[in-house]
């Protein structure tokens, strides 16, 4: 009687634990997709602000048209990106291009007097901060997911169920850009 109970309970225990592992990995993958959607939402808001920012600053950075062209090109590439990896790279390039625009605009004293330009500058910088936070959250979720996939016994379940590693968002290191206690 005891042997027959053990013969039933041991496989049932393994199956239950395997099911737990599968659903834990599935939950982490779903969380990573939700986090990526949040990054995309923030990027879409960011894309809406950029034309207004360029319009507000266009009178002040006339001599540095290459900076404006670089921001426009980076925004276009970010909007045209089809895959997740392309969006990640394009949004990083957009952040770097905006950083160059901010550095050029900081050298013009007239911008600090223009309320519209300052407001748009502040909104874009706040949006940059929200994107940075969303990227960091995404990276935390994906890093946890990737670690689970590589650890035994999760690695067995991951291979059987087809779970694959996810790419991390590369966070651009942009020094010296602060506003209201926030780093860009």
pLDDT, one tens digit per residue, over 26-59 is: 898 899 999 989 888 888 888 888 887 777 777 6
Q: What is the mean pLDDT of residues 97-113?
A: 70
In whole numbers, what is the pLDDT of the chain averaged over residues?
78
Q: How confident is the model at residue 108 (pLDDT cuts 50, 70, 90)?
A: low
Predicted confidence at residue 179, as pLDDT, reads 36
The contacts of residue 166 (CB under 8 Å, 6+ apart) are: 29, 32, 142, 145, 146
What's the rounded Cα separation, in Å, for the pair 89 and 80?
12
DSSP SS3 for 82: coil
Q: What is the mean pLDDT of residues 148-155?
A: 82
Highest mean pLDDT of the ranges 2-6, 20-24, 37-41, 168-172: 37-41
């Amino acid at each position: 009687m005891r042997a027959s109970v053990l013969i039933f309970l041991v496989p049932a225990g393994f199956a239950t634990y395997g099911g737990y592992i599968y659903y834990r990995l599935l939950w982490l993958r779903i969380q990573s997709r939700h986090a990526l959607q949040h990054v995309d939402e923030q990027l879409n808001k960011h894309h809406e602000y950029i034309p207004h920012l360029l319009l507000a600053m266009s009178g002040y950075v006339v001599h540095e048209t290459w900076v404006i062209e670089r921001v426009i090109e980076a925004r276009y590439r970010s909007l045209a990106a089809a895959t997740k990896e392309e969006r990640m790279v394009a949004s990083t390039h957009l952040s770097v291009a905006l950083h160059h625009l901010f550095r050029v605009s900081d050298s013009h004293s007239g911008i600090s007097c223009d309320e519209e330009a300052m407001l748009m500058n502040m909104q874009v910088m706040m949006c940059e901060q929200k994107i940075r936070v969303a990227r960091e959250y995404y990276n935390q979720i994906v890093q946890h997911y990737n670690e689970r996939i590589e650890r035994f016994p999760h690695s067995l379940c991951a291979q059987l169920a087809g779970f694959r590693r996810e790419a991390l968002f590369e966070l651009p290191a942009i020094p010296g850009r602060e506003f209201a206690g926030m780093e860009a």
